[in-house]
């Protein structure tokens, strides 16, 4: 009888935790879909701001398919025009016009310099790379604690503060395995992009590792669009601009 009581108590304790974890996973997937369609095209401007106020701007056209395929091509400045990047899961490449084959790049490097790294620029769904370890409900929102599924992910831990009504992030903290803050992302200026997509148009980031530096990402257009798999190949990288 004592064994039965212990078994029942174990179920009572485990089930609510399990259900809560499932709710967190569902919430994270909702946040992902509210940020962007599963497959889409977008135009973005990236601005790097230095401590003295100097700025450098980049314009990119980006396409995404499914959970693990993202590609971008630089439209400006003229010195970067035609450069393209490709991400397939954990693998990333940079193609420079008239310079041999695409070269491998890593998630922690940055093709634009500044505080945004390649993982930020070629962002996959958060649910693709992270598991929800805990969710806290606050007055106006949620705090999701995420843990990387593998060691290849740029950040070992992420904390997402999300608006309760819109289910959109307002602030994301990116941390090391030891809990050290690497950078903070601030989501601002919620805008209606059409087609039912209402999301922040501006993402700002700063980092205690780069004091005085700031980077800004401005979304000019995001819309649903489907692509063939051949678009996300090394051989197609020089032709990405033809999709515009």
Q: Using a CB cutoff of 8 Å and minimum separation of 24, what contacts does 109-114 make?
A: 111/83, 111/85, 112/46, 112/48, 112/56, 112/58, 113/48, 113/56, 114/46, 114/48, 114/56, 114/213, 114/215
Q: Higher confidence at residue 138 or residue 71?
A: 71
With 50 as the cut, is the pLDDT of residue 229 above it? Answer: yes
Question: What pLDDT does residue 100 have?
Answer: 86
Sign of CA dihedral 120, 174, 109, 45: positive
Rounded to whole angstroms, how far apart are CA atoms 128 and 32? 10
CB 76 within 8 A of CB 57: yes
Kindly state the tokens that stand for 138: 């606050």
* Average pLDDT of the residues of the chain: 91
148's tokens: 């990387």
CATH number for the domain whose boundaries are 5-243: 2.50.20.10
Greater confidence, 60 or 221? 60
Close Cβ partners of 211 (under 8 Å, ≥ 6 residues apart): 51
Q: Which two tokens stand for residue 68?
A: 């693990």
Q: pLDDT tens for residues 23-33?
A: 899 999 999 99
CA 234 to each of CA 25, 98, 122, 153, 240: distance values in angstroms, whole numbers, following the listed order = 33, 14, 15, 22, 11
Distance of alpha carbon 72 from its chain centroid, rounded?
14
Find the DSSP H helices in 44-156.
118-121, 126-129
Q: What is the pTM of this model?
A: 0.87
- For 113, which DSSP code? -
Q: Does the pLDDT value for residue 145 go beyond 50?
A: yes
133: how many CB neighbours lie within 10 A of its CB?
A: 12
Per-residue pLDDT averaged across 76-86, rounded?
97
Domain range annotation of the chain: 5-243
Band (184; pLDDT cuts 50, 70, 90):
very high
Q: Is 230 helix (H, G, I), strand (E, B) or coil?
A: helix
How would you classify the pairing of strands 91-95 and 40-49? unpaired
């Amino acid at each position: 009888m004592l064994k039965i009581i212990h078994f029942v108590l174990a179920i009572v304790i485990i089930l609510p935790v399990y259900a809560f974890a499932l709710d967190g996973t569902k919430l994270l997937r909702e946040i992902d879909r509210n940020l962007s369609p599963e497959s889409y095209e977008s135009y973005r401007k990236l601005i790097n701001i230095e401590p003295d106020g100097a700025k450098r701007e980049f314009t990119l056209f980006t396409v995404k398919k499914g959970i693990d395929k993202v590609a971008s091509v630089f439209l400006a400045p003229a010195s970067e025009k035609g450069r393209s990047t490709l991400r397939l899961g954990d693998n990333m490449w940079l193609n420079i016009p008239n310079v041999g084959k695409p070269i491998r790049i890593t998630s922690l490097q940055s093709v634009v310099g500044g505080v945004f790294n390649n993982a930020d620029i070629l962002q996959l769904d958060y649910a693709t790379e992270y598991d929800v370890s805990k969710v806290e409900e606050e007055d106006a929102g949620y705090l999701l604690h995420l843990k990387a599924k593998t060691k290849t992910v740029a950040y070992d831990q992420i904390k997402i503060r999300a608006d309760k009504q819109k289910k959109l992030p307002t602030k994301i903290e990116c941390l090391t395995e030891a809990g050290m803050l690497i950078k903070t992302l601030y989501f601002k200026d919620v805008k209606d992009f059409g087609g039912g997509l209402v999301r922040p148009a501006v993402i700002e980031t700063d980092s205690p590792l780069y004091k005085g530096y700031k980077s800004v990402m401005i979304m000019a257009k995001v819309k649903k669009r489907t692509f063939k798999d051949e678009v996300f190949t090394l051989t197609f990288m020089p032709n990405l601009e033809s999709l515009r």
